[in-house]
Amino acid sequence: MALRMSKYWIVISALTLLSCEVNNPILEGTNVVVEGFLISGSRFEKVRLRRVVTPGEATQGLRDLNAPVSNALVSISDGMSTYVLVEDTSEIPNVRPKRTNHGTYRLSAQDSMVITSDRTYELVAVIPNLVVRASTKTPTPITVTALSTIVNHPAENVRLSMTKDSTIGGYLIVTAIDYSQPINFDYGGYNYLYSSSSEVVIPWKHFLTLGVAKIYVYAFDRNYDEYVRNRKLGNPTQSLYELEDVIENGVGIFASAALDSITVSVQ
């Protein structure tokens, strides 16, 4: 009887041990993060390359870790010319603890490139054993029209209408940070609003200060639209999310936008 019982316990114990075995996967290889935005009519500024950090590293503080990808061979092409970018290794001023711009790639001092509408820009970054590519087509210029330009507390809202184009994925509406009386689009502290619709109503309650307010509208490309939409994806029990790949052999965002602005009066 005892022998028979012990057999059962051996089986149960074996099953238990099998179930306990949890071999969860880990991050393998170098995962490059690309971050670059091109604004039509503006000069090209920079592209940032970092690497994905493991959860263990992240618990130490992702911001301080920074994890730049240095010494990469980075170039950007507008279809006619190709520019080789140079890593900025300077120290970031007025930041404590000290941080540097490692992983940030800019045009060399002798180069200059103004972003043009309706053009495809290709980014290539070469690091050991990996070539990362991304491209974006800059949207056509947009025009913003205010269907109502006077904001009356507490009655009238602002209505904006933007031109539409197949290259435009959505509109990012922001206030300029250099403006003396910025509007607040959200009580949560954000000062931008993204809409896939070409007509947007901004309620009067969002304008906290009387006077003149300036609204900037960025018409972003499909890459950015993917970025906005897909950040809703991810593990259902987690607030974090993963983006769809617009970067070949990497992650991140490489997007472009056309820009227009409008002034409204808040009364």
Partner 1 sequence: MILCLSLLPVASFGQSVLVHGSARDAETEEPLPFANVVFVRQGTGTTTNRLGYFFQRIQRSDTVHVRVSYVGYRTFDTLLIRSSGEMTIAANLRPASVTMEEVEVLGQSKFYDKGSYPSAIVFQSKELTALPSPGERDLLRSLQRYPGVSFQSEMSSNIYVRGGSPDQTLIQLDGITVYNPSHVFGFFSMFNVDAIKAAKIMKGGFPAEYGTRVGSVLDVLSAEGDRSRFGGKASFGLINGSVFLNGPLGRGSWMVSVRRSYMDILTNTLGIPLPLPDYFFHDLHGRVTQQLDDNNRLSATILNNLDDLDFVSEKNNDVIDEAVYSTWSNRLIGIEWGCSLSSSAFLRTIVSNSSYHGNLDATQNVLLVSFPGGSRLINYGNRLEDLSIKSELEWSPTTGHAAKLGAFFTKYNLAYSTNASFEGIKSEVLRDYSIGGVLLQDEVGLTDKVTVTPGLRITKYSKRDDPYFEPRIVAGIRLAPTLLAKIGSGVYQQWINGGQPAYFLTFSGIDFWFPVGQSIRPSKSTQISADLLWNVQPGVDFTVSAYNSKIENLVELRPNFEESQNLSGVFYSGRGRNFGLEAMLEVNRGVLRAMAGYTLSWANRWFDDIDDGREFPARHDKRHVLDVVLTYRASKTWEFSLAWTFSSGQAYTGILGYYELDQLTDSISASNTLHSVLSDKNAFRLPYYHRLDLGATKTFDYDSWKLRLRIDVYNAYSRRNALGATTGFSDDPYYRLLPIIPTITLEAEF
- Provide the binding-site residues for partner 1, judged by CB under 8 A: 12, 15-16, 18-20, 22, 24-27, 31, 33, 35, 37, 39, 42, 45, 50-55, 58-59, 62-63, 67, 157, 172, 174, 176-177, 186-193, 195, 197, 200-201, 203, 205, 216, 218, 229-243, 251-253
| Nearer residue to partner 1 within complex by CB, 16 or 94 | 16
Element (H, E) at 165: none
What CA–CA distance (Å, rounded) separates 191 from 40?
22
What CA–CA distance (Å, rounded) separates 247 from 265?
41
The least CB distance from residue 149 to partner 1, in Å, is: 18
| Nearer residue to partner 1 within complex by CB, 80 or 97 | 97
- Cα angle, residue 169 at apex, residues 166 and 175 outer, rounded to 5°: 125
| Nearer residue to partner 1 within complex by CB, 124 or 185 | 185
The least CB distance from residue 224 to partner 1, in Å, is: 9
* Sign of the torsion angle spanned by Cα atoms 181, 187, 192, 194: negative
146 contacts: CB under 8 Å, gap ≥ 6: 158, 159, 160, 161, 262, 264
What CA–CA distance (Å, rounded) separates 25 from 39?
39
The least CB distance from residue 110 to partner 1, in Å, is: 21
| Nearer residue to partner 1 within complex by CB, 124 or 243 | 243
Where do we find the tokens 């996967």? Answer: 25
* Sign of the torsion angle spanned by Cα atoms 217, 147, 166, 195: positive
The least CB distance from residue 213 to partner 1, in Å, is: 15
The least CB distance from residue 231 to partner 1, in Å, is: 7
| Nearer residue to partner 1 within complex by CB, 99 or 133 | 99
The least CB distance from residue 164 to partner 1, in Å, is: 16
| Nearer residue to partner 1 within complex by CB, 38 or 74 | 38
Residue 267 · residue 158 · CB < 8 Å:
no
> Edge-to-edge, what's the strand order for the sheet holding 158-162?
144-148, 158-162, 199-202
